[in-house]
Amino acid sequence: MESKQNTISLIEDDYGLSRINECIQCGTCSGSCPLAHEMDHGPREVFSLIRDGFLEKALISNTIWFCVSCYACSSRCPREIPVTDLIYSLRQMAVKQGLVSKKIKMPHLFKAFDRQVRSGKRISEARIAFFYGLRHPGDVIPAIPLSLKLLKRKRVEL
């Protein structure tokens, strides 16, 4: 049996997660999510895990990184819980607590993006793909023919 590992109080936290207590577990969020089928748990289940004390399990899940920020869940939630924003909160909490599994790829893309914004104020898709590709060549090498087509159409900026 897994021990309960909540390290925050859901009542007084910086992340707005207390809204999770309002969830009625209807599953509208998971049903609306375009990538729910790729997730370890849908958003409904993540909320349930957190409420039941399994925060760490929620934070290490791939769920919070598969969220594509389409806000379909937030738009449709009958309790008007800002589901997407809470997923963002969970991401930051996971990063802060060092609970991001190395297998999860999105944080690597986000970091490549973030680094560029901080260093030069603007980003280029090509540079992000390059730096992400150093870590995940298998994702980027197959995109080389596409990149050449884009280059030919002057759709690449370095």
Partner 1 sequence: MGLSYLFFPGCSYETAAGYRESAEAVCRAVEVELKELPEWNCCGASAVFSLDRAEGVWLAARLAALAGREGKLEIVSGCNGCISALKKGKKLLLQDKGLMEQVRVRLKKENLKLDPADIKDLRVRHLLEIFVQDVPVQFWAKERPKPKFKVAPYYGCLFSRPDGEIDDNEHPILLESFISLLGLDVVEHSMGTACCGASHSLPHKAAVSVLVERIIRGIQTNNADLATVICPLCQFNLDSIQANFDLPPLPILYFTQVAGLGMGLPVSSLGLNKLLVPLKEA
Report if residue 157 touches partner 1, rule: CB under 8 A.
yes
Smallest separation, CB 52 to partner 1 (Å): 25
What is the SS3 assignment for 126? helix
131 belongs to the binding site for partner 1 (CB under 8 A): no
The three-class DSSP label of residue 36 is helix
Question: With left for phi above 0 and alpha for psi between -120 and 50, is residue 70 left, alpha or beta?
Answer: alpha
Stretch in the footprint of partner 1 (CB under 8 A) among 1-9, 17-25, 51-59, 115-123: 115-123
Judge whether 33 and 27 are in contact, CB under 8 Å: no
From 4-12, 22-30, 32-40, 49-57, give the range in contact with partner 1 by CB under 8 A. 32-40
What DSSP line would sit under 55-99, residue for residue?
A: HHHHHHSSHHHH-----HHHHH-TT---HHHHHHHHHHHHHHTT-
Site residues for partner 1, window 36-75 (CB under 8 A)?
A: 38, 66, 68-72, 74-75
Span of 22-30, 42-50, 51-59, 144-152 interacting with partner 1 by CB under 8 A: 144-152
Give dist(CA 131, CA 18) in Å, integer.
37
Does 22 contact partner 1 by CB under 8 A? no
Least distance in angstroms from the C-beta of 6 to partner 1: 21
Query: In this structure, what token pair is assigned to residue 157?
Result: 């900026």
Interface with partner 1 (CB under 8 A) = 34-35, 38, 66, 68-72, 74-76, 82, 84, 88-89, 91-92, 95, 105-111, 113-114, 116-118, 121-125, 129, 132, 136, 139-140, 142-143, 146, 149-150, 153-157
